[in-house]
Amino acid sequence: MQHSTHQTELAGTVPVRDALRALLPRTKEEMQLDLSERMDRSVVTLLKQATDLFYGGRVSECLEASEAICDYSWEKLNTGAWQDVDKEWRRVYAFGCLLKVLCLCEAPGDAATVPAALKVCDMGLLMGAAILEDILIKVAAILQKHLSGKRPSPAPAQEQHSIKKARKEHASVPDMRSERAVPRLHCPSLQYFREHHLVPERPVILEGVANHWPCMKKWSVQYIQEIAGCRTVPVELGSRYTDEEWSQRLMTVSEFISRYILGEPKDIGYLAQHQLFDQIPELKQDISVPDYCCLGDGEDEDITINAWFGPPGTVSPLHQDPQQNFLVQVIGRKYIRLYSLRESEALYPHSTHLLHNTSQVGRQDRGGIATSLLPNPGPFGDRTGDLCALSRSTWRTPTWSGSPSLLRPRSCPACCVLERSCSSRRSAGTTYAPWT
Amino acid sequence: MSEERPGAWFGFGFCGFGQALGSGCARQVHSPEPVRAPEVGADLWRVSASWSYTAFLSRAGQVQLSGSTSGAADGCRDAWASEALLILLRDGRGPGPGAELQAWAPSSALRGEPLWAQTVVLEAEREDGPGGETHNQTHNQLPLLPCARAYVSPRPPLYRPLAPQLRARRLELGAEHSLLLDDAGRVYSWGGGRHGQLGHGTLEAELEPRLLEALQGLPMAEVAAGGWHSVCVSETGDIYIWGWNESGQLALPTRSLAEDGKTVTGEATGLSEDGSEVKRTAAAETGAPAAFIAVQPFPALLDLPLGSDAVKASCGSRHTAVVTRTGELYTWGWGKYGQLGHKDMSSWDRPCRVEYFVDKQLQVMAVSCGPWNTYVYAVEKKS
């Protein structure tokens, strides 16, 4: 068996199958499932059988068994609220996906084999939980490396054209004159930030914090396509998650870009609130975690990092988050309107359980019901390296905007948000049921 | 009173744990095969299938388990199989008309003692006790207890009383919801509602049984609960269906099938006139708005081909099976493990007749679905 560093060097030449096998324990006895006693005995037995079949070289039987394991655990993942799903079922699902990927890559296969295997691997990452020291991340890296050698990059000309076209068109931007802007500070000390903004829960824009991050220089639609094009991600379709037509769908990043970012998208598609950097560690290398995130209660492990990637015109309905958020806009501009918690009644929160932290107020008209606005961060972003700190005690609605001098609806802004989260992710009305 | 015609049980679908479903060689059976339950044999009266094992119950009161667990027991009036627990209703140990409700760990193979047992009172004589006709099995069947005052659940608490004013006739459990049919033909639902399976028009959960107002005035004869969908059959033979449609289990157009290109469209029996499969393409390509339905939160009326009347219904995890008055079987929904009985692994989002029974001149009398398989009782047609 090859040593791990040696293996990554050869990933380009050694067939995918061997590279994957090198990740596994050598014998089936060493393969520790480590599943809890409370799991259904039948599925644990089937999983053990599937593992034995794989090590015994009985690939087609193993594949059959893995399919059944994935399908059965998928049903468990879809039973009850996502946050109540027993983590062990997610681990079973991940094991099922792992075995399926291994089986798919055992046979020589054709050009479609590795993308299909990568899709299964991504399902395991999206809906499963960590197994065998995050083996699925390593599997994804191997499969992706194999694919990127063969895939041509999309023409950069298309992106430039879209941007140029956008600049020419007139865009509407909310009139900010009568609104108060949120204060801006340049790299305040941690203590100052804590005393004057974190504790009293006052929003602020921190300048100059993220301007040295690699993403500011490196990221473009083409770059994202190269790094992550073949990866499967969840995309929200429909203008707002409060709409009846709103839905979630899985697709590769390439598909998402070509259908909903570039060209003239017919519908709105939004890669929203997805822990993209856990799924694709290569992108994580381009960002940092600001020191300000470490203030406050909770452990560093509670910090969740989400990504938002979408076309202009995406609007998140007015909502409230239980956690402190730091928002960094990498490409493009965002307009955010804030209301104080004191205005909650005037903001008509939905009465349903799923949407109780989301307002029913539709368009964010200036003549809205709630009259006392908090100081507004207004449009910010576009590679400035500004960090917007949003406290938990505000209602916020981020909207993509354009202006005559800025990238307008046809552009492709991206944004990365760092959230300080105490327990689970924000439950702002998106149903966290796993996608089919 | 019709004479007893010779009948038999057939099975198709998932049998990855070796549960009796035919020859026993493969992990899946795609077309109906006679069920082999040797110890129970021709006396097989009721089938209750869980994911990894099936419980066969004979008229004489013997229960036989097949699949991930084995074992047998006597003196059983009813059996209900789930992964967590096997529930048996057995003759009381002492004299008197009582019965004993037992919950067993499936892996125990019915050896030793049950995990839990309780004496239960029976109401007046049940018409469909062992020895009654096979197709008259809708009254007070597990998980509903004979007294109809309570039911059993595979999740704790095991024993769950029902409000006395609910005169329950039939109760079915889905993955996170419950359906109840009362003596007057009214339907109630409660539990989780995230996939519209409660039928009240929202995605909200209900803690207590709530009447299906949309069905008021339409007396129902049968209810069936799948994993996340619900079906009921009216006394006049109409089917009402609601809940999650991700695999076409509501017989409504579903995106997943259109995108996979696996959906088969055409005549009622599933093939276009020249016998070829016709692939349904996503409506978006033709410019028309796609009318896919992922969730149907209140009952929709479903017509069977040729205007047939339905008399029985049963649901698996993500598929639906219906028996018509004339003895045909229609299935639709998830078909990956052959549970639809159409000789392949296709899923369907419209009702499709199981041709096997037509070809063999068999009249289907009853159907009982496990999560990923289907058991059917059929008799020979009168010539």
Rounded alpha-carbon distances, angstroms, from residue A376 to A205, A211, A240, A338, A371:
10, 22, 21, 6, 13
d(C-alpha A226, C-alpha A231), whole Å: 10
**In A122-213, where do the E strands start and end?**
184-186, 204-207
- Chain A residues with CB-CB distance to B under 8 A? 40-43, 45-46, 64-65, 67-68, 71-72, 75, 78-81, 247, 352-354, 431, 433, 436
User: Is residue B97, in this structure, part of any structural domain at all?
Assistant: yes
User: B22 near B11, Cβ under 8 Å?
Assistant: yes
3-state secondary structure of A10: helix
Per-residue pLDDT band at B214 (split at 50, 70, 90): very high
Distance of alpha carbon A149 from the chain centroid: 25
Q: How many domains does chain B have?
A: 1
Rounded alpha-carbon distances, angstroms, from residue B299 to A32, B72, B214, B229, B313:
47, 40, 7, 10, 15
Q: Please judge whether B246 and A75 are an interchain contact, meaning their C-beta atoms are less than 8 angstroms apart.
A: no
Please tell me the distance in Å from A111's CA to the nearest CA on chain B: 19
User: Is residue B299, in this structure, part of any structural domain at all?
Assistant: no
In which residue ranges of chain A is CATH 2.60.120.650 found?
A: 184-422
**B window 343-362, beta carbon within 8 A of A:** none
Distance of alpha carbon B280 from the chain centroid: 28
Span A365-383, mean pLDDT? Answer: 44
DSSP assignment letter at A385: -
Sequence-distant (6+) residues with CB within 8 A of B192 are A79, A80, B176, B177, B205
pLDDT in tens, B251-288: 999 988 887 764 443 322 333 333 333 333 333 344 44
On the 0-12 / 13-18 / 19+ scale of CB atoms within 10 A, B27 is: middle
**Chain A within 8 Å of B18 (Cβ-Cβ)?**
no
d(C-alpha B128, C-alpha A100), whole Å: 46
What is the model's pLDDT at position A150?
59
CATH number at residue B99: 2.40.10
User: A371 near A122, Cβ under 8 Å?
Assistant: no
What is the model's pLDDT at position B114?
95
User: A273 near A425, Cβ under 8 Å?
Assistant: yes
**Chain A within 8 Å of B91 (Cβ-Cβ)?**
no
Parallel/antiparallel/unpaired status of strands B7-14 and A333-340: unpaired
**Chain A within 8 Å of B292 (Cβ-Cβ)?**
no
**Chain A within 8 Å of B53 (Cβ-Cβ)?**
yes
On the 0-12 / 13-18 / 19+ scale of CB atoms within 10 A, A380 is: buried
Q: Please judge whether B203 and A79 are an interchain contact, meaning their C-beta atoms are less than 8 angstroms apart.
A: no
Per-residue pLDDT band at B37 (split at 50, 70, 90): confident
**Chain A within 8 Å of B52 (Cβ-Cβ)?**
yes
pLDDT surpasses 70 at A158: no
Nearest CA in chain A to B15: A68
Give the whole-number percent of chain A exceeding pLDDT 70: 63
User: Is residue B342, in this structure, part of any structural domain at all?
Assistant: no
Q: Which residue has the tokens 């409506």?
A: B283
d(C-alpha B75, C-alpha A189), whole Å: 78
Please tell me the distance in Å from A62's CA to the nearest CA on chain B: 12
Q: Please judge whether B68 and A45 are an interchain contact, meaning their C-beta atoms are less than 8 angstroms apart.
A: yes
User: Is residue B382, in this structure, part of any structural domain at all?
Assistant: no
Which of chain B's residues have a Cβ under 8 Å away from the Cβ of A65?
16, 27
Give the whole-number percent of chain B exceeding pLDDT 90: 71
Which of chain B's residues have a Cβ under 8 Å away from the Cβ of A431?
194
What is the model's pLDDT at position A270?
85
Please tell me the distance in Å from A41's CA to the nearest CA on chain B: 8
Q: What is the dihedral sign for C-alpha A385, A386, A390, A395?
A: negative
d(C-alpha B323, C-alpha B185), whole Å: 19
- What is the strand order of the sheet B44-49 is part of? B44-49, B53-58, B63-67, B72-73
Q: Please judge whether B68 and A433 are an interchain contact, meaning their C-beta atoms are less than 8 angstroms apart.
A: no
**Chain A within 8 Å of B169 (Cβ-Cβ)?**
no
Span B197-202, mean pLDDT? Answer: 96
pLDDT surpasses 60 at B174: yes
Which of chain A's residues have a Cβ under 8 Å away from the Cβ of B14?
68
Span B171-192, mean pLDDT? Answer: 97
Which candidate, A190, A418, A210, places its Cα nearest to that of A303?
A418
B69: domain range? 37-121
Query: Could you give the angle at the alpha carbon of B331 between the alpha carbons of B194 and B353, nearest 5°?
Result: 155
Q: H helices within A78-131, ranges in order?
A: 87-106, 113-127
Distance of alpha carbon A214 from the chain centroid: 19
3-state secondary structure of A214: helix
The rounded mean pLDDT for chain B is 86
Nearest CA in chain A to B174: A79
Q: What is the CA radius of gyration of chain A?
A: 23
What is the model's pLDDT at position B24?
59
Choice among A86-95, A361-370, B150-159 with the minimum mean pLDDT: A361-370
**Chain A within 8 Å of B51 (Cβ-Cβ)?**
yes
Q: Which residue has the tokens 């500011």?
A: A216
Please tell me the distance in Å from B101's CA to the nearest CA on chain A: 23
User: Is residue B209, in this structure, part of any structural domain at all?
Assistant: no
Q: Would you tell me which CATH number, out of the four given (3.30.70.270, 2.60.120.650, 1.10.3720.10, 3.10.310.10), belongs to the domain A184-422? A: 2.60.120.650
Which candidate, A249, A362, A23, A416, places its Cα nearest to that of B292?
A249
Query: Could you give the angle at the alpha carbon of B109 between the alpha carbons of B104 and B143, nearest 5°?
Result: 35
Type of residue found at B244: W
pLDDT in tens, B38-62: 777 678 999 999 999 999 999 999 9
What is the model's pLDDT at position B96?
72
pLDDT in tens, B70-105: 999 999 999 999 999 999 999 887 777 788 999 999
Q: What is the pTM of this model?
A: 0.82
Which candidate, B375, B347, B366, B379, places its Cα nearest to that of B81?
B375
